[in-house]
Structure 1
Amino acid sequence: MADSLSALLERSRQLQTSTSLAAVDLPSIQLGLDQIESQSRRIAGRSLKEAGHTGNAAYLLASGGVNADQLSSNINTVNLAGTFEPLVPLSDTDVEGYVRHTHEQAIISAIEEGRRATTADFYRNLDTKMRREWERQKEKMFDELGRHHAQAGPSTETSRRLGGQNGFERSAPAAPLPSASGSLQMHSKMMRYDSVIRRLNEFRKEGFAFGLVSALGEASVGSSSGDSRAAQTTETWRLLSHLVQERDVLNGEFQRTALQERQYAQAYLAQDQEQQSTVELRRMIGEGAKGYLEEQFLAYVEKTLASRPAEASLGGVPSIQNKIRAFLNVKYQKNGKWSNPALEIANNTPVWARMYYLLRSGHAKEALAFATENESAISKLEKSFVPYFKAWLDAPDRRLPKLLRDRFLAEYNQRIRYLTDTSDPYKHALYKLLGRVEIQRRNVPGVTQTTEDWLWFQLSLVRETEGQGEAPHEKYGLRDLAAVLRKFGEAHFDPKGSRPLLYFQVLLLSGQFERAVAFLQQHSHYQADAVHFAIALAYYGLLRVPSRSKTADVELLVDANTDTPSLSFARLVHRYTRLFAQSDAAEALQYLHLVCLNADLPAPRGDEQVALAHEYVRELVMETRQYSELLGDVRNDGTKVPGQIERDLKLLHLADSRAYLLGIVKAAAERADLEQRFSEAILLYNLAEEYDAVIAVLNVELGNSLSRPAGASASTGGVGLPEGFTGTVGMAAGQEDVALVAKSILEHYDRAAGMGGKVSRRRRETCEVLMRLKEALSAYEQGKLEQALQTIESTNLIPLHSDLVHLIRAAEDLASVDDAIVRNLDAVLVVTMTALYRLHQQLKDSPYGADASRQQRMHELRSKARSLMTFAGMLRYRLTSETYSQLTRLDVYLN
């Protein structure tokens, strides 16, 4: 080999030197013979190693029963070119065969396309259902988050002040932090509110008017005289009674003219906010707010006089004239002299301040009387003021006649507009009120020093009948005042965030009811109050609610950036009831009734509110499970005892008992059925008088119980009575066996007139078959094989004789058998065959095996086994392979 390679090398060199193409630079061999040999051996070794790996793989597959060589050969011989060609070759002229083949391929393609479409629909529907369930769970989560919404911290940003003060100077001081007894006080207040709501619903059912604001105000009075927060809350209820014009109410009952439920709804909720009724409503709210501030100021005056009687020198006649005179003495007189040099004094009294404070306390007639009595003195200061003042007060809308107004404006522009700080500020304030001038400069330094003074001044300038002789720049209504207050915000009125009721009152005074409730609800200590303020406003129709599509967020206020925001009233009430629903479901129900206050809204919002109320009531029933109290009971004799919901049908806008059964009870039963809460579904369907549905649910649970061990309790899947159920409905309390429950229900329906007739024959027969099968399986587990076999035969489900026609008919009849039975057919067949085998084995092993009767019995058992196998063979594709294998093995042992 070495000689040959050496000769080859020599000859290749000779070839290179002898070639005629000497100019071409041919590559030369750089490796020696030893190197070539070494690399050749290395390549040969690698090939053998790879061949060894292939052999190992083939050996491994062979140990598992796989012939790798044969499989590789088969794969290589597969020809996919004719996959879709007909099995039998068609000639070019066989048109019928070609059409038949094309038709078969179209069917196969359609089936495959249908399968793909079905699969896609399944996953799409599954995704839709999961998303819907997630939305429902998310809504519940938002409800929980809303209940525990953290308080918004006070803004540290300092805004400009109104008249040098920010806050109701004469309001109660800020309340201390909650003490250990805070929760007890809160519970006590909630209980007092509860009693009012209960009375409200009683009045509503009877069709009587109820003074809700006054009643809630009385309930808000704290048990402790030192509870400043309770005092502030009570004062706020008094404010609201002024706004809604609720007067002459004693213990919730009107003594004279009564306000009706939803009194202001049509005007407040009108689409056109400029229509006459809506404008009049805004005027009423503004006048009510001004009247409250006037009454509050007079109380402050009297309190001041009582605290400083010597300085006041009130005298023996406590008339309003004397009270204001004495108040001015306290405020501006020191050592018998007037301390403020800017005040203009006439007849030893600051006349402008005297008239202003008479107006400020709500005594316009007394102010005019004072001006008339002192006309000569006032005329020396301002010649034409008294005629202006009298014309202004006599006008029904506090508007000067045009001629007088023109003269007034000329005089104002010449002499009053540019008054300096040394001028009497009360004269300036009176002139601004009379002429409603400089509407964009609504502050009078030295007069509007407190927030309540400033608000009263604004409300005195507010006018809802614009466009009657006024320039556009003088437009200033209640909504304009609300916009100004929103710009200031909470940070201005309560910079420390320690007095939330202050800003709440400001919002109420400007008619911003939705914003007021949403703001107060954010403060945990006042959440119960916020809910009841919302209820009072909704009762009189002064609360806008959004459509259901806008209530999926955690925030209660919707469209907050518009002039007409809305509040998720239903969600607010629902959140509140969840605080005590488990402990007092009946009281929670009283609150849920109030969701239907908004049923009079235009479609679809009114219907949505009713539907929400029904949904919340069903949820209350399902979560608390206080069925007897809420839904009622049906006794053994068929007597029906109505529950609280049925006694309040009117409040839920349910026309009659049938609507109640369908809208509340049946819907709750369907939900329980869907969630596989079978015991509750049975009870609820029974209360809904859906007796056929009761049996249907029983059939499902009976079918499920056949695959469970005997004696399984309700906690492991059996049907027992739900907790909290105290009635009978044909079932014994604490009963757990589903078969016993089914038996007692059927017996109850047979006894009670009219009940049994509402159960379909097919479902009753199914129930009876399932009960016997349950009995048979229980007997089988107890070793009572003969009893089990006889009970199964009595159902006529499995024909155990040799009549072929009967076997075929029985197999065909399975198509009409209830699914609860069919899905247990495998287990029943195996149990039947096992019982036959064991009975046969017992006879075979018996020492009396030669006895003729025993031989006859063994023959009968084998005959029944053959019938069973024939029947099972007809159902081959309905049974699992394991079931058929078991039957076949037992049949072999038998024979």
Structure 2
Amino acid sequence: QGFLKNERDNALLSAIEESRKKTFAMAEEYHRESMLVEWEQVKQRILHTLLATGEDALDFTQETEPSFISEVGVPGRSALDSVEVAYARQVCLYSTLIWGCHSALNLITVCPSQTGDRNVSELWAVVKQMTEVPLVPAPSLLKSRTSIKMQMAFVKQALQSLEQSYKDYTQVTIFGNLHQAQLGGVPGTYQLVRSFLNVKLPAPLPGFQDGEVEGHPVWALIYYCMRCGDLMAAMHVASRAQHQLGEFKNWFQEYMHSKDRRLSPTTENKLRVYYRRAVRNSTDPYKRAVYCLIGRCDVTDNHSDVADKTEDYLWLKLNQVCFEDDGTSSPQDRLTLPQLQKQLLEDYGESHFAANQHPFLYFQVLFLTAQFEAAIAFLFRVECLRCHAVHVALVLHELKLLLKPSGQSAQLLSHETGDPPLVRRLHFIRLLMLYTRKFEPTDPREALQYFYFLRQERDSQGESMFLRCVGELVIESREFEMLLGRLEKDGSRKPGAIDKFTDGNGDTKAIISKVASVAENKGLFEEAVKLYDLAKNSDKVLEIMNRLLSPVISQISAPQSNKERLKNMALSIAERYRNQGISAEKAIDSTFYLLLDLITFFDEYHAGHVDGAFDIIDRLKLVPLSQGTVEERVAAFRNFSDEIRHNLSEVLLATMNILFTQYKRLKGTGAATPARPQRVLEDRDSQLRSQARALITFAGMIPYRMSGDTNARLVQMEVLMN
């Protein structure tokens, strides 16, 4: 029997030990995973802040002595400049409009395009023109964006933008040189071009062919009419000089009436043959350019004599882009949109266009060739133009034209496996968070407006990025009341900025609860209490308050101390909950009010009011004060929460100290008097010792391990009372 008992005990102990090891290993693994997730989030925030967009993006050179004083901005001063403030106001207006009518609005209609800066106005004019393209139905945005129909639409919009811009340029040139231009009274593009050439080509140079119309080379007139986007005006010139142009008038007429500005394969082939035989070596640069435009031939010729500006070059090349291979074009006569995109983005690149000196021009080059994401990413790298890039991205995002990466760890501009070679994706979430990081501490209300654009975005865990960003914003800014509202004395909630983006109290409550959960997970328990209280989650309010109160209830109260602050906070909650009839789960509720009573007990005890403290502990029925109640208190102890149990040692020591103080006071009163007979003194002496023995017995019987020092001190005081 002894052997079997020993084997059984060993088996139990080994099972317990194995379970203990597994539990600790599991806890360690959970802790490691939690730390990895947290560290990954910290890394992402660091990388976002450092703007890791290029090899030379970071400059760690240190020219001055380092300062250990943090450079904090002037309190209350906005981190937004005047342009950013203007954008923020329009974003606020847009979110108000879209939330009020619950319908799709175009953000570009409220963006501040009239800023007084011509470059910015032109930028928004280009964006407006290029985004007026309806999405082609397709399984994905990528397939829609790369479809032939949509690419044709983008090229058409780009050509219209370039043509209108050039027409405006000719008008400015003419009105700046009215005497030389000799503008007639007849309106129209032809008269505009004729006057423009009076300024640009006051005397025809040698090399122009096929005669003149009203003193100007016929091919120059045709080219500039086409450059201004007026084919009817160009046709008017061709008609006046048709006897000098051979078959050109018929070819141009077909080109003008074609649906997509494309000659039929037969006509195009005849024109190309004629071009190679009679036009390619012509000394008239405008003639060569016009033939290359309508015949889409000799696409390698840049026509630098005519297209001397980037916009002219881009217009010429976009006119030569073809979308369908009819089998009759040779490689040198075929230019596709991806080929043009590659030339501009990779073959030429930023250095060719002097992008650092002319960022708006390079942005337009990329944007007009439907490389939206690359254009935005480029502009975002220029710090003073970052706000424009962000709001262009917002416009494309709201119009569902922006290509975004499938993963959250992608770079700001990325290319995914399976995408066409020239397709780039823009990390919209990162872009927006990088932009708002600058002014979140000083302008949280404005940052909230921008986070609303992330309402449909999800992180890798499937969590709403809007909720996540709002949570971080509230925690970082500490603007709880302004963003989430505040609790009035009557228990009602005064709305905050977040209420603008919610359907009703339920949605607001969910957001506040989410932020409260974030605060709790970060260890910001007092903030979490306020937030859970705001969300009317009384269980969590009292649960966290119990955890906060438990370590401090036995401390001495002092002004501005943790205990004093937490006590006042708990008392205000308790008073409001009682007045409004709010209650939590029974166990949590009873623990909370018992902790408040124990705070009162210890305050009386530390103040030296031993009789008042004794009355409180007697009414609480927490520890036995007679031998007959020991069993009852031991049984009740099993129902107490850990917050109460952790304070049991201090409660027992304080109660024993009170009994010992009363005992010493009793012994110090001297001999018996008529008012206090000897029998009364003896009864009181016996009662105090009995109460001390009851405490000792209780301390030994409860299923809770207290420190050896506690038991020793209890026994010591009990011995001194004998």
- TM (norm. structure 1) is 0.73
Asked if 1:270 corresponds to 2:141, the answer is yes
CA distance in 2, matches of 1:460, 1:268: 29
Are 1:756 and 2:619 matched, yes or no? no
Counterpart in 2 of 1:590?
Answer: 449
Q: Secondary structure at the match of 1:708?
A: coil
State the Cα distance separating 1:543 from its structure 2 match: 1.2
| Aligned residue in 2 for 1:48 | none
Q: Which residue of 1 aligns with 2:66?
A: none
**How far apart in 2 are the matches of 1:873 and 1:542?**
74
Matched position secondary structure for 2:402: coil
Letter in 2 for 1:494: A
Q: Which amino acid aligns with 1:756?
A: I
User: Hey, what does 2:668 align to over in structure 1?
Assistant: 845
Q: Which amino acid aligns with 2:364?
A: Q
Q: List aligned pairs for 1:220-259, cutoff 5 A.
A: 221-222=115-116, 230-245=117-132
Which structure exhibits the higher relative contact order, with contacts defined as CA atoms closer than 8 Å and separated by 6 or more residues?
1
Shift of the 527–266 alpha-carbon distance from structure 1 to 2, 3 Å rule, reads farther
- 1:318 deviates by 4.4
* 1:619 shift after superposition: 1.3
Hey, what does 1:781 align to over in structure 2? Answer: 606
Aligned with residue 682 of structure 1, among 506, 523, 529: 529
Separation in structure 2 between the aligned mates of residue 872 and residue 529 of structure 1, nearest angstrom: 72
Does structure 1 residue 692 correspond to structure 2 residue 532? Answer: no
Distance 2:137 2:651 in 1: 68
Counterpart check, 1:826 vs 2:649? yes
Question: Is contact 2:663-2:721 (8 Å) kept?
Answer: yes
1:870 is displaced (CA, Å) by 0.3
1:658 to 492, 496, 506: 506
Q: Does 1:389 align with 2:260?
A: no
Match of 2:49 in 1: 144
Kept after mapping to 2: 8 A contact 1:849/1:855: no
1:567: how far off?
A: 1.6
Mapped pair 1:410 → 2:269? no
> Which of the two has higher C-alpha Rg?
1
Map residues 631-646 of structure 1 onto 2, 5 A cutoff: 631-646=484-499
The match for 1:865 among 688, 692, 709 is 692
Deviations along 1:512-554, one digit per CA (max 9) or x if unpaired, are 1111111111111111122111111212122122234324xxx
Separation in structure 2 between the aligned mates of residue 472 and residue 765 of structure 1, nearest angstrom: 88
Rate the CA distance shift 1:615–1:245 in 2: closer, same or farther, 3 A.
same
Aligned partner of 1:32 in structure 2 is none
Match of 1:491 in 2: 351
Match of 2:366 in 1: 507
Whether contact under 8 Å (1:692, 1:763) holds in the other structure is yes
| 1:747 and 2:642 matched | no
CA contact (8 A) 1:214 1:238 kept: no
2:608 is aligned with what amino acid? G
Q: Give the distance between the partners of 2:665 and 2:251, measured in 1 at CA.
A: 122
SS in 2 for 1:770: helix
Post-superposition shift, 1:848?
4.4
Distance 1:691 1:673 in 2: 15
Q: Secondary structure of 2:26's match?
A: helix
1:33 is matched with which residue?
none
Please report the TM-score for the alignment, with normalisation by the length of structure 2: 0.89
1:127 and 2:32 equivalent?
yes
- For the structure 1 residues 120 and 566, does the alpha-carbon distance in structure 2 shift closer, same or farther, using more than 3 Å as the test? same
The one of 681, 706, 717 aligned to 1:854: 681
- 1:880, CA displacement in angstroms? 0.7
Whether 2:24 is the aligned partner of 1:196: answer no
Q: Distance in 1 between matches of 2:138 and 2:361?
A: 28
Distance 1:537 1:268, change over 3 A: farther
Answer yes or no: is the 8 Å Cα contact 1:490–1:503 preserved in 2: yes
Q: Give the partner amino acid of 2:268.
A: R
> How far does residue 469 in structure 1 lie from its aligned partner after superposition?
5.2
Aligned to 2:184: 315
Percent of aligned pairs sharing the same letter = 29
2: CA distance between counterparts of 1:268 and 1:283? 19
**Aligned equivalent of 2:285, options 425, 429, 436:** 425
What displacement does 1:768 show? 1.5
The AA in structure 2 aligned to 1:528 is C
* C-alpha contact 2:626 2:690 (8 A) present in aligned 1: yes
Match of 1:518 in 2: 377
Q: In the TM superposition, what is the alpha-carbon distance from 1:272 to its structure 2 partner?
A: 2.8
Q: Which position in structure 2 is the counterpart of 1:443?
A: 302
Q: How does 1:86-235 map to 2 (within 5 A)?
A: 101-146=6-51, 187-205=81-99, 206-218=101-113, 221-222=115-116, 230-235=117-122
- The alignment of Structure 1 onto Structure 2 pairs a total of residues equal to 693
Give 1:666 deviation, angstroms.
Answer: 1.0
Question: Displacement of 1:265 after TM fit?
Answer: 8.7
1:358 deviation in Å? 0.4
* Match in the other structure for 2:220: 353
**What's the offset of the Cα at 1:677?**
2.4
Quick check: 1:203–1:209 contact (8 Å CA) kept in 2?
Answer: no
The 5-angstrom pairing of residues 603-752 of structure 1 reads: 608=462, 611-649=464-502, 656-662=504-510, 664-711=511-558, 713=560, 716-718=561-563, 737-752=565-580
3-state SS in 2 of match to 1:682: helix
Query: What secondary structure does 1:705 align onto?
Result: coil
Alignment-mate amino acid for residue 187 of structure 1: D
Mapped to 1, the partners of 2:460 and 2:268 lie a distance apart of 48
Give the residue type in structure 2 aligned to 1:686: D
Whole-Å separation in 1 of the counterparts to 2:209 and 2:683: 130
> Given the superposition, is the C-alpha separation of residues 586 and 399 from structure 1 closer, same or farther in structure 2, using an over 3 Å criterion?
same
Aligned partner of 2:397 in structure 1 is 538
Alpha-carbon separation, structure 2, partners of 1:293 and 1:711: 75
Call closer, same or farther: CA 1:150–1:580 in 2, change over 3 Å.
Answer: farther
- For residues 703 and 9 of structure 2, the distance between their equivalents in structure 1, rounded to whole angstroms, comes to 27
Structure 1 position 392, deviation (Å): 1.1
Amino acid at match of 2:285: P
Counterpart-to-counterpart distance in 1, 2:142 and 2:128? 26
Superposition deviation, residue 882 in structure 1? 1.0
Alpha-carbon distance in 1 for matches of 2:301, 2:653: 94
Aligned mates of 2:696, 2:79 — CA distance in 1: 77
SS of structure 2 residue aligned to 1:837: helix
Contact 2:210/2:244 (8 A) holds in 1: no
Deviation digits for residues 314-351 of structure 1, max 9, x if unmatched? 233343212211222322234xxx23434543343211
Whether the 8 Å CA contact 1:534–1:543 is kept in 2: the answer is yes
Distance 1:185 1:807 in 2: 66
| Pairwise CA distance, 1:389 | 0.7
1:147 Cα deviation from its structure 2 partner = 9.2
Instruction: Say which is worse superposed, 105-114 or 580-589, in terms of deviation.
Output: 105-114
Q: Distance in 1 between matches of 2:56 and 2:159?
A: 31
Deviation, 1:591, is 1.0
Pairing 1:449-488 to 2, within 5 Å after superposition: 449-464=308-323, 466-468=324-326, 470-471=328-329, 473=331, 476-487=335-346, 488=348
Shift, 1:184, TM fit = 10
Instruction: Please list every run of 5 or more consecutive structure 1 residues that lacks an aligned counterpart in the other structure.
Output: 1-95, 154-182, 223-229, 247-262, 651-655, 719-735
How far off its partner does 1:717 sit? 2.9
Q: Report the CA distance between 1:245 and its aligned residue.
A: 2.5
Contact 1:668 1:684 in 2 (8 A): yes
Shift of 1:813: 2.9
CA spacing shift, 1:131–1:657, aligned 2, 3 Å:
same
Q: Decide whether the 8 Å contact of 1:631 with 1:644 is kept in 2.
A: yes
Matched, 1:796 2:667: no
Q: 1:793, 1:800 within 8 Å by CA — same for their partners in 2? A: yes
